[in-house]
Structures are given as C-alpha cells and as structure tokens.
Amino acid sequence: MDKGLQAFIDKLDSLKFDNMYENDFYFTWDKTDDEISAVFTVADALRHLREQNISTKIFDSGLGISIFRDNSTRTRFSFASACNLLGLEVQDLDEKKSQIAHGETVRETANMVSFMADVIGIRDDMYIGKGHTYQKTFMDAVTQGHKDGILEQKPTLVNLQCDVDHPTQCMADMEEIIHYFGGVENLKGKKLAMTWAYSPSYGKPLSVPQGVIGLMTRFGMDVVLAHPEGYDVFPECEEIARKNAEKSGGSFTKVNSMAEAFKDADIVYPKSWAPFAAMEKRTDLYGKGDFDGIDELEKELLAQNAQHKDWTCSEELMKTTKDGKALYLHCLPADITGVSCEAGEVDASVFDRYIDPLYKEASYKPYIIAAMIFLAKCKNPQETLKKLAERNQPRLFQ
Amino acid sequence: MDKGLQAFIDKLDSLKFDNMYENDFYFTWDKTDDEISAVFTVADALRHLREQNISTKIFDSGLGISIFRDNSTRTRFSFASACNLLGLEVQDLDEKKSQIAHGETVRETANMVSFMADVIGIRDDMYIGKGHTYQKTFMDAVTQGHKDGILEQKPTLVNLQCDVDHPTQCMADMEEIIHYFGGVENLKGKKLAMTWAYSPSYGKPLSVPQGVIGLMTRFGMDVVLAHPEGYDVFPECEEIARKNAEKSGGSFTKVNSMAEAFKDADIVYPKSWAPFAAMEKRTDLYGKGDFDGIDELEKELLAQNAQHKDWTCSEELMKTTKDGKALYLHCLPADITGVSCEAGEVDASVFDRYIDPLYKEASYKPYIIAAMIFLAKCKNPQETLKKLAERNQPRLFQ
Amino acid sequence: MDKGLQAFIDKLDSLKFDNMYENDFYFTWDKTDDEISAVFTVADALRHLREQNISTKIFDSGLGISIFRDNSTRTRFSFASACNLLGLEVQDLDEKKSQIAHGETVRETANMVSFMADVIGIRDDMYIGKGHTYQKTFMDAVTQGHKDGILEQKPTLVNLQCDVDHPTQCMADMEEIIHYFGGVENLKGKKLAMTWAYSPSYGKPLSVPQGVIGLMTRFGMDVVLAHPEGYDVFPECEEIARKNAEKSGGSFTKVNSMAEAFKDADIVYPKSWAPFAAMEKRTDLYGKGDFDGIDELEKELLAQNAQHKDWTCSEELMKTTKDGKALYLHCLPADITGVSCEAGEVDASVFDRYIDPLYKEASYKPYIIAAMIFLAKCKNPQETLKKLAERNQPRLFQ
C-alpha cells in the first residue's frame, strides 16, 4: 500500500459516514460535516489511484442514467467521466427521443429506465419549485420500485443541479479552495465574497449562489453574499447559511455592494443570477402556458439587469481584495467582457489570469461525482480502496 | 455450482435449440417451442446470476447497434441494458446525424456500421409492409458481407418491433404470465383476452396484438381476440394463432365485444391499435408523398376510434373477469383515463392496482433481449453459463 | 506467440516511429515513411488479434471524445469501433446540446471535455481554412492544460477529416491498395488516377483528393490528378505530392481530362469535390454572415458542375484502364447514376462490380484509427502486442 492512499484511508477511518451507503445526494446541507469530508477524501483517493494508472472500476457492468433538462457540456462530461471511471456506461434519457410525451408519469419513466441502473444523474434547474420536486418524485418512484421487487437495485441519485442546490459544482469549487489554501484547516477567518454580477443573458439559475452560501459557510470562513436589491436568493438557503456560519465559528452577512463584498476578500465568486421573485413568476406563467407573458418578463429582467452593469469583476475591484490577489472562482462558462459579450461578469484580463485555478476547479467535478457514487455503493469504502490498490489493475495496459 | 443455476442448465439440457446459434430473431413463430423455452430459461438464468452479483459479461468489447425509426424509451433502455449486461457498447445509428440522406442503400449502411457489430437491434414499426422488409434487407446485406469476408462476424438481429411482430415485448409479457401463474404448466385452459381498446391517439402499431396472438396461443390457453369491426389484424397472424392453438390444445377465437372477451378471463390485454386496412392505405399515401391525404386519413381514423369509446378497461368490466381478478397486461405506456387523456384504454384505478405486475412485466424485457443475444452467440450456452459461475467475477467489486 | 503476430512485430522492429508516442495525427505528410508503415502494421496486427478472438483492450477505462461538425455515419462508427476495440468509451460532444453557444472559447471547451479523455477525434471539413485551425487550437489548449497540471493526460488527436487532409480515409484506401496488390513492394510503377467526377450535390470537401495525392505519391506509383479547369485543390498539397513522387521514384502529373487519367490506370478514384477558390469565397461569405451570397454561390457552383456531366466513371471509361480492370476506389457514399441520383460520379454497373473491394476498403478505417491511437499511447507497441497475445483474454468468452 502506498503512503498516499493510506493517508486517505486513515482520514476516512476518522469520519462517520455510514449513512451515505445506499443513499442519495440532493443537497450538501442534508449531509454532516463528516459526510462532506468523506466525499472530498474519496474524490482525492480516486484521483490519486488514477494518477498512478490503477483502475478504480468497481462496476463490471451497469448503467448511469443521465437526464439533462437543460443544455450542458461540463456537467455532462463530468458525469460521463465519473461513471466511466467506476465502470458504468452512461445512457442518456433524451426526452425528445422518448415516448414520454405520451403523457406517462414520472413514476413510470423512472422505473422503466432503471432496471439495470446503478446511478441516476439529473439536471433540472430551469423552473423554481420544479427541479428538486422532479428529482424527488423520480427517486421516490425507484425507491418504491426497489421495495416492490421490480428493480434489483435502488439506483443512487446524484443531483447534477436543481433549482435549489448545485452540489457537484459547489463541492468542486470547495475542493479548489481547500487545495489552493493548502488544507481545510487554513480556511478559518478567510473572507469569501459570493456576489451577483451583470450578464446580458437572462434567467441564470440561483442554485450556484445558494449552493455556495449553503456549503462554504461550514468551514469557519466569513461568507458575504452581495447582490443588487431585488436579486434575493431562497430565504431558506440564507437561513441554512446563517446556521452553518454560527456552528462553524465563521460568519454570514449580506450587503448590497460588490465593492464592500470584495474589500479584503480572500476568495471572490462573481456570477450572475436571476431574481428569485421573477423566477417564481416565470414558473407561474409557464404553468399557465403564457408564453407572451414569459417573453414580456424576459424583457423586463434584461432591462433590470442592465441597470447594474457596474456589478462586474473589474481589475479595479480585484485590486481591493486581499493583497489584490483574491482567488477568483466561477462555475463556467463566464460572461467575459469583450470576449463572449460586450459587457459581462468579469474583465477579460482578470479571467485570463485565473485560467489555471478555474480549470482546476472544474477538474474536481468528475471526482466529486465519482466519490458520491462510490460512497453510496460501497459498504466499506476504505476496504474497497484497499482492494483496488491490491488488485492493481492498470488503467492503461502496456 | 448453486442449485438455482443448475436447474436452469438442466432445463436447457432437455431442449433442442442449436439452430439459434448465429441466427436472427425476427418472429416468435419462426422458432420452435424448445427455442422459445430456451429464451425464457436463459433470461431467468442471466437474471439469477446478476442477482447474485455475478458478472455475465461474455463480450470484452464489441458493439450493439441500435436503429430506432420511431421514438422509444423502454425498448431503447432495455436494449442498452441487455447489451451492457453482456459487455457490448451500444452505438445508436441516428439517421438524422448520418449521411444516409445522400441516398445510400440499406446494403451499404448495413455493412458500414457493422465492422465490429455483434448485435443489431432495429425498431421500425411505422409503416405496414415496410418494417420487416427493412430488417430483412439489412440482415441480408450483413450476411452477404460476412460471406464475402467484409465483416469478421455476422451480427445477430434482435427485432425490437416491426410492422408484424414485437417479439421482445410479447416474450416479456409471456414471462410475466408464466411467473405470475407459477409456471408454464399451469397455463392450460387459462383464458387470455387480447382486446382492442379506445385511445385518442392514432396509428398505434398492430405488432403487439399480432405478436400476442402469435405467441400466447402456444401454451394451451384459450386466446380470444376482440376488436370492433374494421380493426382487423394481419390475416397471416390470425392463421398462425389458429394453428398454434390447435397444436397446443388450446383455442383461438375472435369476437366483436370487449365484454364477451373479458367474461371469466384470467388475463386481459386491452390495448389500442390502428385498423390494418387504414395502415395499408397510409403506407400507400406515404409512398406517393401525399401528406394531405395522410392528414385526412388521420382525421377519419380518430373519428372512427371515437365511435368506440366504450371499449375501455373499466372497473365494471374487470369485475366480470375470473374472480374479478384477471391479470391486467399492457406494453406501456397506456392511455389512462383521467391521467394521460380524458378517455382512454383503461380506468386509472384499474391501472394503479396493477402497477407492480405491469412494471415487472416490463422488467423482463432486458433479460429477454440478452437471452436472444446469448443464444445466438454462444455455441454451448449451458457450458458458458457454467463458466460464468466458475469465473465468479463480481458485477460490483467491493 | 503465433507466427502471424510475430511477423507484424518483426516488421515494427525494423521501423523507427518513437516520435509517434504521445503525438497527434493531423496530416499524413507530417509523418515519416516508417511512421506511416507502422500505422498499417499495427492496424493489421490488431485485426489479426481480433480475428483470433484475442482482446486488444489496452484501456480499462477512459474516454474517446468525438466532435462531428458535419454529418457522418461511417467515420462516426469507425471511430466508435476503434475506441471500443481498445477499451475507450465514446462520448460525443454534440454542440447543439452544449452551452458552447454561450460564447465560450475553444480553449475552455477543450479542457472541460478532456479531464478523462485519452483521445479526441474531430471532423471539421466544411469551411476552407477553418477545420485544421479548429483542430490545432483545440489541441494547443489541451497540450497547455496538460502542462499546467489541469489534465492528467494529454489526449491524442485523430483527425477525422479537416479542410486539408482526411488521413484515416486515405490510409484505409491505401491499405486496400496494398492488400489488393499483395504488398507495398508491388506498387512501383502502378498508375493511380485521382479524378474529379460530376455530382449533382455541392460543396464536397477537397480533403479526399488532397489526402490521396499527399499520401499515394509516397509508394513509387504514377499518380495522376485530373479535374476540369477551375477545380484546383490546395497548391500546397500538390507541392507535397510532387516532392513525395520525386523521393519515391514515382511521378505526379496533372491533366484536364478524365479519359487521359483513366488510360491504362491500375487504380481509379473518381470523386466529386468543390473548387478551392469557390470554397474560399464561401468561407468569406460565411464569415460575413452573408447567407444570400452563399445561396447564390451554391447555384453558381451547381451550374458550373453541370457543365461537366461527362466526367463520370462509365463502363466505357473503365474499359480503357489496365486490362479494363482497374481497381475502383471511393470513400463512400458515392453518387451513383440511376441509384442515388439521375447522373452522378459512377455508373451503377461499375459500382456494383466493385462492392466487395469498396466495402473492404471501408473496413480498414476502424483499424487505422485504432492503430493511430495505439501508437500514440503505447511506449513500446511491440511489447504491448506481445503482452496482449500472452494475456490471451478472449474477446468473446465462451
């Protein structure tokens, strides 16, 4: 056994996370600190093994079902990579090619695609109050199906983004922070600014800022949420952030100024999102099939956004952060001023300077997803990691 | 060797099915009783192994090509599951993304996608007189390609539904019946009602009722086919059903009343389909490119359907079945009154009561498909099953 | 070790190709004669092993990313087959389902899809001056990503067709020639006619004729390029052909007559393509978003094509080739007179007579692609081939 792997196993031995076995991953705040830590540790362990050309295939066959109700590149490829790393084949449920339009129930679809499914990955972030509900309905159906003897296994949910949380993204973001600052023990007292930023596009999901404040407040950091008036996120998520901060010895505050948030920040996460109230209205209009109303709302929102063009991650603002060198985070793709749009979330020169940490941030996602699956499928993850090292099957046979 | 697996192997030893090796699966009526029985037995054996976490991967690499000329969810996932279970990777031939529009021949396409294809699964059920012909042309091409040394292997066809038969569906239906009644030996004299039912949608394929009467008449049951006047199925399929019934000691009768069919039935299969004659007309119109004519025909057919709204699987009708408890079957998705449509094939309360057997019925399909492939690819299936048990490779490594 | 495999290994031992390790495959003319020969030899060795039911899976997990910016059937399936043969799972980047429209850079996309990618296959042949540039930009990005520690491995590019070359096609064509004439040593002095042919469709890529003259001139053959005035190919490719011919002791000549090219030819490759100058104009119009201009250009080009309907591979012309029996090649699908169009590139009777060699020609492509990957991934390919033979893992377990 190499020492690197042993360190991860020792770390896992110090944590309690048996409740993750055969469980699902909806929200980070459903999980204990130990469980969150276990995900990071297993992610690092899997990466460690792969870097040593040791196979981490625990599945000989089996399917990972993906459902993307919104376009996706990086999450799609992260899920595919995670499944492949563990030995699962991705089968995408493309609702356009299916008979679902016939009006069949989610209960039925869920069971029909799950006969040999070990994992279900769902992205459904378009409508407030819908995404999480869909995931829950889907998983209730397969849980029942498993109980009733229809499904041989209960597949595990990995929430690939809903209207409430984006756990695989925020945990990848968090792993970047941990590695960047040399360990979770160095984060106490660090200031993180999660701030709204201007974008010429409309209706971006709230799940990233919500996920960020819901997770990042657990590590003793001073988390500041900044946005213009009217761009509030779910009150429930703010409440979670408040409680987390209190428990972790950090803080959670809200301000209405990007400049105030950036001041002396160690980490900044400037990103656009839509106002919660407007998204609720949109869901209502959608429910009524009022597409003219939706178009009208879109125009209003773009006009509202345009009033806040000064909310942008400029070089000037970056200078005001800790030593002028805060870590810049983004879930990507960013709206880059002068590159992907005339005026956007971030100056091109800022973005370019942070390419390496940004791409590294994204590179954690496949491992985070794989770790979530691993912890849900392995009864004794430490034992399985040991056995993988002993099996010592090369990923690339030479 | 565990006793469960040994029983399946013993059963196979009692059957003669060597003609299935390197053969295709178009219609159930091409196969002998022993061959049909072998498919059920291998399906159960593969399921048994998987339930014991024993890998059934016989392919280390190789492709399963799927061609869906009609939308599909459950058949698509069943095929993907079956291929994955045996170690094949599914590669879908999406005719929209291909150069086939260039006017290339089926012969050419067939060979071009089959260089490393072990299995071809085709669904083509839209036009009477077309679906089977397409499958046959495709398979003739690859058979020739194999003979001419172009293809290293002759891929095996699994008919995933054509205009004539839907063998993977009907065999899954049949497996549900066998398991539900505790064995094929208990089916003698049972009454099965395959009946038309009202649906507000149009042009549903005839291959399900045809497949059902072509298969279910082989087990000594009393099979009744019921439909309103004008909704006849292929005469050839009725002829097959008649001969089967005679040989098996059961019966095959036709009635024009759903009530008569349901009376004392042990099994009911109420499902909509389009009139054969209308479907022939539609194929002609399509051949002429007469899309106005097709629209006109559609309207006529919907009006014709609407005259038979009383053909529905209601609670009242269910009460008239054997002990009021006939097994309700459907290939899914069903048109459920008040759920997926205003008035449809079945009452919501009936459908809901049978969710479990319905989903179990569907759960057999991946194994039926896998068994068809297994029997076409393994020279000595009993030997291969034994070797899989001896190899004892875990599906999930822990 | 069987003798067949040993012969391939001995051949490889006589060649120098270590520069292919961890390298990309853009153009055949980037590669030395030894390197080209190594690809053919590994392709044959992999085919040999597969024919003996010996697995050639060198990857236990890993992704092959495909990007098709133009429709494709055979290249798509060839790439999928090659990846599967070596153990990689294909993940297609469908730009329509992605967030790329957001305006993200190629640099970003390239890194985001490559976290676990061992191979990148790109087809981008639509616009002159764009396809190769896109591939190069993509690969520069992942090479940088690998250097910066973002990607654990640098994926290897396989050019699945760009605006300049179509190396997997032309090398498959070449393998057909080599096998047809019983070895590369028999090609000296053979006459190959790469000629334009009429097609009623418009804008066919130039990469096939360019790739053919750029590769086929390396084997001592007399290569003749024939086309009507105005249908020139890239001057750079002609220059490469000229130099190759000189070095190999063959010749490269240009004529303006199909008849002259066919006269006494041992091999003919009649195929339509668009005029280079027109394609440049099209790229400009596209750059300006001038779609009316593009439509106008299309009409002009079709009219220009129509002036050369006599450029067709007729029975009459075939009679003038060596013994009336030249080997007829095509990358497929061909425009066949009376089959896929009224008047096209080739007479139906000619095409039909050559079905077998044509399909065999296509059958080499998966192995050519696999060989390119194998040589880029294995530090010592001979050693790996030996180990695969020793491992002796059956492709189909029985």
DSSP of B182-232: TSGGG-TT-EEEEEE---SS----SHHHHHHHHHHGGGT-EEEEE--TT--
Listed residue (C365, C367, C374, C383) closest to C156, CA to CA? C374
User: Is B369 found in the same domain as B268?
Assistant: no
pLDDT greater than 70 at residue C62: yes
Sign of CA dihedral B71, B74, B76, B79: negative
What mean pLDDT is predicted for residues A84-99? 86
Q: Is B155 helix (H, G, I), strand (E, B) or coil?
A: coil
The domain of C66 spans 3-164+365-391
pLDDT greater than 70 at residue A17: yes
Q: Provide the residue type at C132 as one letter.
A: H
Neighboring chain B residues of C74 at a CB cutoff of 8 Å: 99, 112-113
Residue A106: both structure tokens together: 């989610």
Instruction: Specify which residues B92 forms β-bridges with.
Output: B66
Contact partners of B by the rule of 3+ C-beta pairs under 8 A?
A: A, C
Domain count, chain B: 2
pTM: 0.97
Residue C323: both structure tokens together: 């013994």
Closest residue, chain A, to C116 (C-alpha) = A81
The pLDDT value given to residue A201: 85
Listed residue (B172, B99, B112, B183) closest to B142, CA to CA? B112
Q: Is C84 helix (H, G, I), strand (E, B) or coil?
A: helix
DSSP secondary-structure letter at B268?
E
Distance from CA of A97 to the nearest CA of B (A): 5
CB pairs under 8 A between A and C: 117
Confidence class of residue A230 from pLDDT cuts 50, 70 and 90?
very high
Neighboring chain B residues of C359 at a CB cutoff of 8 Å: 108, 111-112, 145, 148, 150
On whether residue B397 sits in a domain, the answer given is no
In A21-40, which positions are buried (b, 16+ CB within 10 angstroms) versus exposed (e)? eebbbbbbbebeeebbbbbb
Distance CA C308, CA C303 (A): 9
On whether residue C396 sits in a domain, the answer given is no
User: Is C181 found in the same domain as C285?
Assistant: yes
Candidates C99, C151, C397: best to mutate against A (most CBs of A within 10 A) is C99
The pLDDT value given to residue C195: 98
Distance CA A1, CA A389 (A): 7
The pLDDT value given to residue A125: 87
On whether residue A398 sits in a domain, the answer given is no
Residue A350: both structure tokens together: 């800022």
Distance CA C2, CA C177 (A): 26
User: Is A220 found in the same domain as A231?
Assistant: yes
Distance from CA of A252 to the nearest CA of C (A): 32
Closest residue, chain C, to A360 (C-alpha) = C150
Distance CA C73, CA B93 (A): 8
Residue whose tokens read 């077309």: B130
Strands A267-271 and A346-347: unpaired
Mean pLDDT value across chain C: 95
The pLDDT value given to residue C103: 57
Element (H, E) at B280: helix B276-287
Neighboring chain C residues of B379 at a CB cutoff of 8 Å: 398
Neighbours of A182 (CB within 10 A): 9
Closest residue, chain C, to B117 (C-alpha) = C81
Q: Do A53 and A395 form a contact (C-beta atoms < 8 A)?
A: yes
On whether residue A310 sits in a domain, the answer given is yes
What mean pLDDT is predicted for residues C251-268? 98
Sign of CA dihedral A74, A79, A85, A91: negative
User: Is C381 found in the same domain as C236?
Assistant: no
Distance CA A192, CA A252 (A): 10
Distance CA A109, CA C44 (A): 45
Residue whose tokens read 């003979």: B147
pLDDT greater than 90 at residue C277: no
User: Is A218 found in the same domain as A160?
Assistant: no
The pLDDT value given to residue A72: 84
Distance from CA of B229 to the nearest CA of A (A): 26
Residue B59: both structure tokens together: 């392919």
Candidates A60, A88, A391: best to mutate against B (most CBs of B within 10 A) is A60
The pLDDT value given to residue A337: 96
Residue B69: both structure tokens together: 């000329």
User: Is B29 found in the same domain as B160?
Assistant: yes
Distance CA B112, CA C365 (A): 10
Q: Considering only the beta carbons, identify the residue of B51, B68, B84 that sits closest to A152.
A: B51
In A363-386, which positions are buried (b, 16+ CB within 10 angstroms) versus exposed (e)? bbbbbbbbbbbbbbbbeebbebbe
Neighboring chain A residues of B87 at a CB cutoff of 8 Å: 61
Contact A115 B90 (CB under 8 A): no
Distance CA C112, CA A169 (A): 13
Distance from CA of C262 to the nearest CA of A (A): 47
What mean pLDDT is predicted for residues C108-114? 95
Neighboring chain C residues of B112 at a CB cutoff of 8 Å: 73-74, 77, 332, 359, 362
Confidence class of residue A257 from pLDDT cuts 50, 70 and 90?
very high
Count of residues making up chain A:
398
Q: Distance between alpha carbon C147 and the CA centroid of its chain, in Å?
A: 29
Distance CA C182, CA C185 (A): 8
On whether residue C398 sits in a domain, the answer given is no
Closest residue, chain C, to A69 (C-alpha) = C97
User: Is B211 found in the same domain as B91?
Assistant: no
Residue C254: both structure tokens together: 């240009």
User: Is A357 found in the same domain as A223?
Assistant: yes
- Residues with Cβ within 8 Å of residue A205, at least 6 apart in sequence: A125, A126, A161, A163, A166, A273, A274
Residue B57: both structure tokens together: 């991967």
What mean pLDDT is predicted for residues A354-376? 97
The pLDDT value given to residue A94: 84
Candidates A61, A107, A118: best to mutate against B (most CBs of B within 10 A) is A61
The pLDDT value given to residue C31: 98
Mean pLDDT value across chain A: 95
pLDDT greater than 60 at residue C102: no
Contact A89 C93 (CB under 8 A): no
Residue A90: both structure tokens together: 């991705």
Contact partners of C by the rule of 3+ C-beta pairs under 8 A?
A: A, B
First to last CA, chain A: 22
On whether residue B218 sits in a domain, the answer given is yes
What mean pLDDT is predicted for residues B364-384? 98
What mean pLDDT is predicted for residues C176-190? 97
Q: Is A105 helix (H, G, I), strand (E, B) or coil?
A: coil
Percent helix / strand / coil, chain A, rounded to 5: 50, 15, 35
Gyration radius (Cα) of chain A, Å: 21
pLDDT greater than 60 at residue C248: yes
Q: Considering only the beta carbons, identify the residue of B90, B332, B397 that sits closest to A108.
A: B332
Listed residue (A127, A150, A151, A160) closest to A24, CA to CA? A160
The pLDDT value given to residue C286: 84
User: Is C292 found in the same domain as C230?
Assistant: yes
Neighboring chain C residues of A76 at a CB cutoff of 8 Å: 97-98
Distance from CA of B229 to the nearest CA of C (A): 43
User: Is B138 found in the same domain as B53?
Assistant: yes
Residue whose tokens read 């960020």: A212
DSSP secondary-structure letter at C155?
P
pLDDT greater than 90 at residue C95: no
Strands B222-226 and B191-196: parallel
Distance CA C318, CA A272 (A): 66
User: Is A153 found in the same domain as A200?
Assistant: no
On whether residue C397 sits in a domain, the answer given is no
On whether residue C373 sits in a domain, the answer given is yes
User: Is C246 found in the same domain as C146?
Assistant: no
B→C contacts (Cβ < 8 Å), by residue, are: 57-63, 89, 91, 93, 97-105, 107-109, 111-113, 115-116, 118, 145, 148-152, 377-380, 383-384, 387-388, 391
Contact C333 B103 (CB under 8 A): yes
Q: Considering only the beta carbons, identify the residue of C57, C104, C150 that sits closest to A333.
A: C104
A→B contacts (Cβ < 8 Å), by residue, are: 57-63, 89, 91, 93, 97-105, 107-109, 111-113, 115-116, 118, 145, 148-152, 377-380, 383-384, 387-388, 391
Helix B207-216 / helix B235-248 crossing angle, nearest 10 deg: 20
pLDDT greater than 60 at residue C52: yes
Neighboring chain A residues of B333 at a CB cutoff of 8 Å: 99, 102-104, 108
Neighboring chain A residues of B395 at a CB cutoff of 8 Å: 59-62
Q: Considering only the beta carbons, identify the residue of B68, B85, B335 that sits closest to A116.
A: B85
Q: Considering only the beta carbons, identify the residue of C103, C113, C387 that sits closest to A341.
A: C103
Residue A199, domain CATH: 3.40.50.1370
